[in-house]
A = this chain, B = another copy of it.
Amino acid sequence: MARTGRRRGESGTREAILDAARACFAERGFSTTSVRSIAAAAGVDPALVHHYFGTKGELFAAAMELPLDPGAAVPALLEPGIDGLGERLVRFFLGVWDEPAARQRVQAVLRSALTEEAAAALLRDFVTTQVLGRVAAALGTPDGELRASLVGSQLVGLGLLRYLVRVEPLASADEDTVVAAVAPTIQRYLTGDMHQPG
């Protein structure tokens, strides 16, 4: 927080922007909050927000203390194409969750989403537009959004059981075992036949 009667230093300005971002995102969601409105709430120029934090997605990740901006990570994963995307997504996802600090933050975000509807709405909005929407666009099929949300359901459930509730033997299985089991699921959700009966 800025001390009264003194100019804020860089770290004070950064904190003021992060506070404003948390308040604006919580109140209006991710999509309808602009960097301009966050800058106004923090009393700084929008260019300074971009200078310190980059894109709106990166600012959101910093405000929520996420280990990375998923909206920035997804394009890099999509770039080599849809072939093998299932395995790339699973390996990337396991790599992020393997970091204890990342796990703690994701746990806090999930807990909030299960506690307050506003937090659930914010998570839903961010994940839909920044992560699943990008995967759906890369698929380019009419059912791309459904496919992307099914991918999300398997990855979130895997993270929850392996890293947070820690159900065995899934919690201790080595990465290659998990990839061999789960990557074909993800690849089928992305590109497989989804209308065959169970």
* CB-contact partner of A157 in B111, B154, B180, B188, under 8 A: B154
Report yes or no: B198 in contact with A183, Cβ–Cβ below 8 A: yes
In the assembly, what is the distance between CA of A184 and CA of B154, in Å?
Answer: 13
- By secondary structure, the A interface counts as helix
For A165, A173, A179, which residue has the most chain B Cβ atoms within 10 angstroms? A165
**Complex Cα spacing A151 to B195, Å:** 20
B167→A132 contact, CB < 8 A: yes
Establish whether residues B184 and A196, one from each chain, have CB atoms under 8 Å apart when the complex forms.
Answer: yes
**Total copies of this chain within the assembly:** 2
A145 CA to B173 CA, complexed, in Å: 11
Interface size on A, as a range, is 35 or more
- The interface bits of chain A over 140-172 (1 if a CB of B lies within 8 angstroms of the residue's CB, else 0) are 000001100110111111101110111111100
How near does chain B come to A176, taking the closest CB pair, in angstroms? 9
- Check A149–B132 contact: CB distance below 8 A: no
Is A198 touching B180 in the complex (CB atoms < 8 A)? yes
Residue pair B182, A150 in contact (C-beta under 8 Å): yes
Chain B contacts for A169, CB-based, 8 A = 145-146, 149
